[in-house]
Amino acid sequence: MPRKNKQYTKEVLGVAVEEVKAGASLRKTAQKYGIPHTTLADYRKNIYSHNPHPNSALTPAEEEALLSFIFWMADHGFPITRSLVKVLAIGIIRESGRSNTTRVNLEKGPSDMWWSRFKARHPALTMRTADSLDRARVHGATPEAIEGFFSIYEALYIQHDLKNKPHLIFNCDETGFGDKPRSREKVLCQTGRKHIYQQQQTTRQHITVHCCVSAAGESIPPFIIFPGCLPSTAYRLDGPPNALYGIQQKGYMDGELFLKWLHHFIRYAPEERPIILIMDQHETHVSKEVIVLCRDNKIEILCLPAHTTHVLQPLDVAVFNPLKTAFSKMASRMGLVRGDIVVGKKQFSPLLKHVYPTAVTAENVKAGFRKAGIFPLSREAVDTTQVVRILPSAEGTDATPATSSPTPSSTPTTPPAIATPSSTPTTASATPSSASTTSASASAPLTGTNISATPSATPAPCPTCKWVTPKNYLVAAGIIPESLANVLMSPALEKQDKVRRRLPLPARVITSDEYFNLVAQKEAEEKENEDKKKKRKEDMAKKKEERRQAQEERRQVQQAKRQRKQAPPPAEQDGEHCAICRCLVPPGSADDTVDEWVQCELCQLWFHLQCAEVMEVPDTEWLCTKCCLHP
CATH number at residue 41: 1.10.10
The answer to whether residue 231 sits within a structural domain is: yes
Mean local confidence (pLDDT), 53-75: 85
User: How remote is the C-alpha of 247 from its chain's centroid?
Assistant: 27
Mean local confidence (pLDDT), 57-69: 91
Give residues with Cβ within 8 angstroms of 290, minimum separation 6: 255, 258, 259, 262, 301, 510
SS3 for 528-545 is: HHHHHHHHHHHHHHHHHH
The answer to whether residue 249 sits within a structural domain is: yes
Give residues with Cβ within 8 angstroms of 93, minimum separation 6: 57, 58, 99, 102, 104, 106
User: What is the pLDDT, as a whole number, of residue 463?
Assistant: 67
242 and 121 share one domain: no
User: 107 burial class (0-12, 13-18, 19+ CB within 10 angstroms)?
Assistant: exposed
Q: Does 293 score more than 70 pLDDT?
A: yes
Of 43-52, 142-151, 327-336, which range is least confident?
43-52
Selected residue with higher pLDDT from 407 and 119: 119
Domain containing residue 592: CATH number: 3.30.40.10
Where residue 83 falls among pLDDT bands split at 50, 70, 90? Answer: very high
333 and 437 share one domain: no
Q: Pick from 261, 313, 264: which is nearest to 284 by CA?
A: 261
Highest mean pLDDT among 93-107, 170-184, 486-500: 93-107
Selected residue with higher pLDDT from 466 and 331: 331
Share of the chain above pLDDT 90, in %: 33
User: Per the structure, how many domains does the chain have?
Assistant: 5
User: What is the pLDDT, as a whole number, of residue 9?
Assistant: 83
Selected residue with higher pLDDT from 140 and 366: 366
Where residue 597 falls among pLDDT bands split at 50, 70, 90? Answer: confident
Q: Where are the alpha helices (H) located in 377-476, listed in sequence order?
A: 432-440, 473-476
161 and 294 share one domain: yes
User: What is the pLDDT, as a whole number, of residue 7?
Assistant: 74
Give residues with Cβ within 8 angstroms of 508, minimum separation 6: 152, 281, 302, 303, 515
Give residues with Cβ within 8 angstroms of 249, minimum separation 6: 227, 228
User: What is the pLDDT, as a whole number, of residue 604?
Assistant: 79
* Model pLDDT for residues 208-257, shown as the tens digit of each residue: 999 999 999 999 999 999 998 988 777 888 899 999 999 999 889 998 99
User: What is the pLDDT, as a whole number, of residue 181?
Assistant: 56
CA–CA dist 538, 542 (Å, integer): 6
> Which DSSP string do the residues of 3-44 spell out, in sequence order?
PPPP---HHHHHHHHHHHHTT--HHHHHHHHT--HHHHHHHH
Q: Where are the alpha helices (H) located in 122-225, listed in sequence order?
A: 135-140, 143-159
Q: Does 337 score more than 80 pLDDT?
A: no
* Distance in Å from the first CA to the final CA of the chain: 129
User: What is the pLDDT, as a whole number, of residue 457?
Assistant: 47
Q: Provide Rg for the chain, Cα atoms.
A: 41
CA–CA dist 158, 606 (Å, integer): 102
* Model pLDDT for residues 473-488, shown as the tens digit of each residue: 788 888 889 888 888 9
Q: Pick from 68, 26, 23, 31: which is nearest to 401 by CA?
A: 68
Find the Cα–Cα–Cα–Cα dihedral 113, 116, 117, 119, rounded to 10°.
160
151 and 242 share one domain: yes
Q: Pick from 427, 336, 329, 446: which is nearest to 385 by CA?
A: 446
Domain range for 8 is 1-50
User: What is the pLDDT, as a whole number, of residue 196?
Assistant: 84
CA–CA dist 68, 432 (Å, integer): 10
45 and 64 share one domain: no
User: What is the pLDDT, as a whole number, of residue 564?
Assistant: 59
Question: Is the Cα torsion angle 579, 583, 585, 588 positive or negative in sign?
Answer: negative
Domain containing residue 165: CATH number: 3.30.420.10
User: What is the pLDDT, as a whole number, of residue 499?
Assistant: 53
239 and 337 share one domain: yes
Highest mean pLDDT among 106-115, 294-303, 458-467: 294-303
Selected residue with higher pLDDT from 252 and 4: 252
From 555, 588, 607, give the residue that closes a domain. Answer: 555
547 and 607 share one domain: no
7 and 117 share one domain: no
Q: Does 38 score more than 60 pLDDT?
A: yes
User: What is the pLDDT, as a whole number, of residue 584?
Assistant: 72
The answer to whether residue 506 sits within a structural domain is: no
Q: Does 304 score more than 70 pLDDT?
A: yes
216 and 356 share one domain: yes
Give residues with Cβ within 8 angstroms of 23, minimum separation 6: none
Selected residue with higher pLDDT from 301 and 583: 301
Q: Does 610 score more than 60 pLDDT?
A: yes
Query: What does residue 316 show for φ and ψ, rounded to 5 degrees?
Result: -70, -30
Selected residue with higher pLDDT from 431 and 598: 598
The answer to whether residue 501 sits within a structural domain is: no
CA–CA dist 185, 325 (Å, integer): 9
Query: What does residue 25 show for φ and ψ, rounded to 5 degrees?
Result: -70, 135
Mean local confidence (pLDDT), 254-271: 94
CA–CA dist 314, 374 (Å, integer): 8
Of 235-244, 547-556, 574-583, which range is least confident?
574-583
For residue 233, give the DSSP letter.
S
Q: Does 391 score more than 90 pLDDT?
A: no
Q: Please tell me the number of Cα atoms within 13 Å of 435 on its side-chain side.
A: 22
368 and 289 share one domain: yes
Q: Pick from 440, 371, 417: which is nearest to 137 by CA?
A: 417
Highest mean pLDDT among 242-246, 278-282, 284-288, 620-624: 242-246
Give residues with Cβ within 8 angstroms of 69, minimum separation 6: 80, 88, 474, 479, 480, 488
From 9, 24, 50, give the residue that closes a domain. Answer: 50
Query: What does residue 354 show for φ and ψ, rounded to 5 degrees?
Result: -75, -40
The answer to whether residue 408 sits within a structural domain is: no
Q: Where are the alpha helices (H) located in 441-488, listed in sequence order?
A: 473-476
User: What is the pLDDT, as a whole number, of residue 513?
Assistant: 83
580 and 598 share one domain: yes
The answer to whether residue 621 sits within a structural domain is: yes
Share of the chain above pLDDT 70, in %: 78
User: What is the pLDDT, as a whole number, of residue 268?
Assistant: 95
User: What is the pLDDT, as a whole number, of residue 459?
Assistant: 57
Where residue 462 falls among pLDDT bands split at 50, 70, 90? Answer: low
249 and 165 share one domain: yes
* Model pLDDT for residues 116-140, shown as the tens digit of each residue: 989 988 989 999 888 887 777 777 7
CA–CA dist 502, 283 (Å, integer): 14
Where residue 49 falls among pLDDT bands split at 50, 70, 90? Answer: low
Total length of the chain: 631
For residue 602, give the DSSP letter.
T
The answer to whether residue 420 sits within a structural domain is: no
Give residues with Cβ within 8 angstroms of 468, minimum separation 6: 458, 459, 460, 461, 462
Mean local confidence (pLDDT), 563-574: 55
For residue 508, give the DSSP letter.
E
Instruction: Tell me the average pLDDT of the chain.
Output: 79
The answer to whether residue 561 sits within a structural domain is: no
Give residues with Cβ within 8 angstroms of 288, minimum separation 6: 516, 519, 520, 523
Where residue 342 falls among pLDDT bands split at 50, 70, 90? Answer: confident
Of 2-6, 64-68, 331-335, 461-465, which range is least confident?
2-6
Mean local confidence (pLDDT), 570-592: 65
Selected residue with higher pLDDT from 15 and 139: 15
